[in-house]
Structure 1
Amino acid sequence: MTKKGAPTQRARSARGGFHRRLLLIFGLQLVAIVLACLMGYYDVAPVGAVLALIVIVSSLAWLAAQRAWHSVSVLAQLVGSWHEGQVDPAALRPDRLPRHVDADVAMLAHSFHRFANRIAGYNERERNFTRDASHELRSPLTVIKMSTDMLADEPGLSDFGKRSVERIRRATREMEALVEAMLILAREADNGQSEQDFVVNDVLRDELIDAREMLHGHPIELQFEEPAAFALHGSPRVFAVLCWQLIRHASQYTGQGTVLVTVLPGVVSVCATAGTDHDPHLPGQQGFEYAIARRISERFAWPLDLRVQGGNSYVAEIRFPQPLPVPA
């Protein structure tokens, strides 16, 4: 116990040495300047010699302070050369500091090194999770899709069996969209999606085809209006997942009726109107789909505004700060 605590006690006693060293340097400088001024005042030394002595003392004090500051400068360079995505935090190893380093600087270096190791561990676990989840979740979904397609073509399948197959198929597609959204949000540094210029209207048309299939059997009509058109630079898959989550949320809010998707200049809106017997609520306060849409919008800096108008009219708007013109 004594052996284990002795180095810690010595480290604690050595902490603050950097400040004491600076105090000693500038204290000696002050004493030397005062003595030089007194020598000049009492004509012990000529004025030129006094000025030269002050310059020499100040230069020596500056060099001593620079030497004391060197370890801090080296640590700053090490921290500046390290970045969060760097897997190996070896750049922050404390042994890269000068040999005779102040205890405060050494403690700071150890803390940065431990922090860098934790960040590297988080990044490694993130990569492992997204890789394993992408494979282990998508593979069974693919098998389920293939099996339902084969089962749907089976001759002699009863009407109840066909309805069951369609429900399984819709649930599988919804699960695919959910897995895609969760993987997008799980990736911290890289969204895992290839960025490109895409036309918002084209992506929405394709997404609405799949959305109508997934909403098949529900008393909901999905409409699309495009009085405007614009393009974006980013991931079309991320954009499609965001819009699908809002469509799902609007469909659950209204229960039945019409869900209207509209493309305006730099804005995509999703509107739905609930029936008169519908118990209205503020959809932004509940709903897993909206929570995912909100997190995606915050991740990619696409502001999302959700409100209820007239007690039963659901309006969600996604604004895109940097829309691009549609290529001719």
Structure 2
Amino acid sequence: MTPRGAPHPRAALARGGFQRRLMLIFGMQLVAVVVACLMGYYNVAPVWAVLLLIVIVSALSWLAAQRVWRPVSVLAQLVGSWDERQGGLDVLQPDRLSRRTDADVAALTRGFHAFANRIAGYNERERHFTRDASHELRSPLTVIKMSTDMLADESALSEFGQRSVQRIRRATREMEALVEALLILAREADNGQGEEDFVVNDVLREELVDAREMLHGHPIELKFEEPATFALHGSPRVFAVLCWQLIRHASQYTGQGTVLVSVLPGVVSVSATAGMDHDPLAPGQQGFEYAIARRISERFAWPLNLHVQGGSRYVAEIRFPRPLPVS
């Protein structure tokens, strides 16, 4: 068994063969060209014969170099056509290398084979994690939601109990949104969300209904303005999670007051003004919600820009490079 990191024994026999063959080819070409030039200089052969000989020697040298380069070209084609979702590159297993394989080509082959296996293992762990996390995290949240709905219908529940149930319900919905965002970010190749054409304004109206309920009890007024209307092709759930993270971040920033969500041409803006008795977040303390929103925006190529105006005015803008008209 070959130790990890040690050169393959078959490849070790051919170490430096690639360079030697190229040196031999170009050395023979140089000798042939020099001989042809000397033949022309001493009138041993006519000029046209010398030129023809040089052309033939150059063509043969090119064909020989192409043959030497063929293993590298085949390796490049295999790597270029490889799909990471199809698993490892079994055809690049080190034990399949021939005795004539050059050491440099063998090193590239071993490296690509190990890299492909690592990516395949990562994809498999990702699928298992997102599947298990989706089930194990959503199931107890569903039970909590059903239990709070049943408790809320109890007529004998005190006013304090009703407030507690509402707080549990809001915290559960926030946890659902957080789990949804983390699962979206955990999926590398497949976001797990159905893509479709959707109207941004419609999704925001539905999301703001839940957002107002989750912000119930906080001294924050949530407003919605839509000077423009446009559609997108993508996942409406991903879009809703992104906007909800920005609303949560703006709510934490302002502490009290008004959070305004606006739909502009190709842009969704979330703005807020910090309350008089609330210290706004420092520029370096952008919060967990904004970090999630930033990663989602980078994943789906929806540029996100956050800036604070005058030290108290919070403005976050999501720009959509390819908005669609609403029919």
CA apart distance, 1:154: 2.2
RMSD: 2.6
**What is the CA–CA distance in structure 2 between the aligned matches of 1:2 and 1:247, rounded to whole Å?**
57
**What is the CA–CA distance in structure 1 between the aligned matches of 2:139 and 2:70, rounded to whole Å?**
56
Equivalences for residues 55-134 of structure 1 within 5 A: 55-94=55-94, 100-134=100-134
Match of 1:322, as an amino acid?
A: R
Q: Which runs of 5+ in 1 are unaligned?
A: none
Partner of 2:299: 299
**What is the CA–CA distance in structure 1 between the aligned matches of 2:116 and 2:164, rounded to whole Å?**
51
Partner of 1:203: 203
Partner of 1:163: 163
% of aligned pairs identical? 82
CA apart distance, 1:275: 2.0
Equivalences for residues 288-327 of structure 1 within 5 A: 288-327=288-327
Is residue 269 of structure 1 aligned with residue 256 of structure 2? Answer: no
Per-residue CA deviations over 1:66-88 (Å, capped at 9, x if unaligned) read 22111111111111221233224
Q: Which runs of 5+ in 2 are unaligned?
A: none
Secondary structure at the residue paired with 1:135? Answer: helix
Is residue 224 of structure 1 aligned with residue 230 of structure 2? Answer: no
Query: Structure 1's 15 and 206: CA in aligned 2 closer, same or farther, altered over 3 A?
Result: same
Partner of 2:32: 32
After TM superposition, the score normalised by the length of structure 1 is 0.91
Secondary structure at the residue paired with 1:203? Answer: helix
Secondary structure at the residue paired with 1:85? Answer: helix
Query: Structure 1's 294 and 5: CA in aligned 2 closer, same or farther, altered over 3 A?
Result: closer
CA apart distance, 1:55: 4.0
CA apart distance, 1:95: 5.9
Match of 1:263, as an amino acid?
A: V
Partner of 2:21: 21
Match of 2:294, as an amino acid?
A: R
Per-residue CA deviations over 1:149-181 (Å, capped at 9, x if unaligned) read 112222311222211111111111000000000
**What is the CA–CA distance in structure 1 between the aligned matches of 2:37 and 2:163, rounded to whole Å?**
101
**What is the CA–CA distance in structure 2 between the aligned matches of 1:283 and 1:201, rounded to whole Å?**
30
CA apart distance, 1:28: 1.4
Partner of 2:233: 233
Secondary structure at the residue paired with 2:84? Answer: coil
Per-residue CA deviations over 1:111-131 (Å, capped at 9, x if unaligned) read 111111111111111111111
Per-residue CA deviations over 1:173-193 (Å, capped at 9, x if unaligned) read 000000000011111112111
Query: Structure 1's 45 and 316: CA in aligned 2 closer, same or farther, altered over 3 A?
Result: closer
Query: Structure 1's 101 and 7: CA in aligned 2 closer, same or farther, altered over 3 A?
Result: closer
Partner of 1:177: 177
Per-residue CA deviations over 1:203-256 (Å, capped at 9, x if unaligned) read 011001111111111111111111221111111101100110111111111111
- Between stretches 43-52 and 125-134, larger displacement belongs to 43-52
**What is the CA–CA distance in structure 2 between the aligned matches of 1:287 and 1:3, rounded to whole Å?**
47
**What is the CA–CA distance in structure 2 between the aligned matches of 1:280 and 1:90, rounded to whole Å?**
56
**What is the CA–CA distance in structure 2 between the aligned matches of 1:245 and 1:3, rounded to whole Å?**
50
CA apart distance, 1:137: 0.6
Secondary structure at the residue paired with 1:190? Answer: coil
Are the aligned partners of 1:141 and 1:172 in contact in 2 as well (CA < 8 Å)? yes
